[in-house]
Amino acid sequence: MESLNEMLAVYPWGVYVALMLAPFVQEDAAVIAAASASSLGLGDPVILFLSILLGLTASDLWKYWAGRLGRLHKKANGIAENKKVTRVRDKVVDSLGLTLMVTRFVPGTRIPIYLASGFFKVPFGLFAFWIVISAAVYSLLAFLLFHFLGQAGGSHAKAYAPLVAISIVAIILLVQWLRSRTKKIA
């Protein structure tokens, strides 16, 4: 912990930049890291929150545009006009806010839904609005949880909460990976 504090003294903006980039690697771990750093006093909580919010938003918005680029191919447009696909598109578009809020909290659903939103040509402004709202709610809940756990459990809870949270994310990812492997075998 001492070396981390020394690094923060020399490079105070390093943690904020790292948190802006971390969601491009793993969103849940990035949010946990930001909330953990905030509860441990490793930076300004407001700037930590804004850093993770900016990182989550940027990470999600590029996925929308990747989906939009998919429509440049003629075959993709044909697929998009298929009756089954249009039914899915209508469900996503008609309940976009709810879809994106639920997606934020269900690991493994974000990338497909964000790509689909772009592919289905959901209005970008509406998509961006719900991405920011869902990222803010998700991050705020994580920050509140870490801060309240720290207050309730003292310094021991603050020290172990990040390990517990990262372990939970790792278990969820492992279960998803195992499920995908068993589906391929069956």
**94-137, pLDDT tens digit by residue?**
888 888 998 888 878 888 889 889 988 899 999 999 999 999 99
Average pLDDT over residues 164-169: 61
pLDDT digits (tens, 9 = 90+) for 135-165: 999 999 988 888 777 654 445 555 565 566 5
pLDDT on residue 151: 52
pLDDT digits (tens, 9 = 90+) for 11-50: 677 778 888 888 888 888 888 888 888 887 778 889 999 9
Residue 73, pLDDT above cutoff 70:
yes
- Across 64-83, b (16+ Cβ under 10 Å) vs e yields beebbebeeeeeeeeeeeee
Q: How many whole angstroms separate alpha carbon 134 and alpha carbon 97?
A: 9
Q: Which two tokens stand for residue 9?
A: 């003294």
Mean of pLDDT over the chain: 80
pLDDT on residue 6: 66
pLDDT on residue 41: 79
Q: How many whole angstroms separate alpha carbon 2 and alpha carbon 115?
A: 42
- 66, 115 in Cβ contact below 8 A? yes
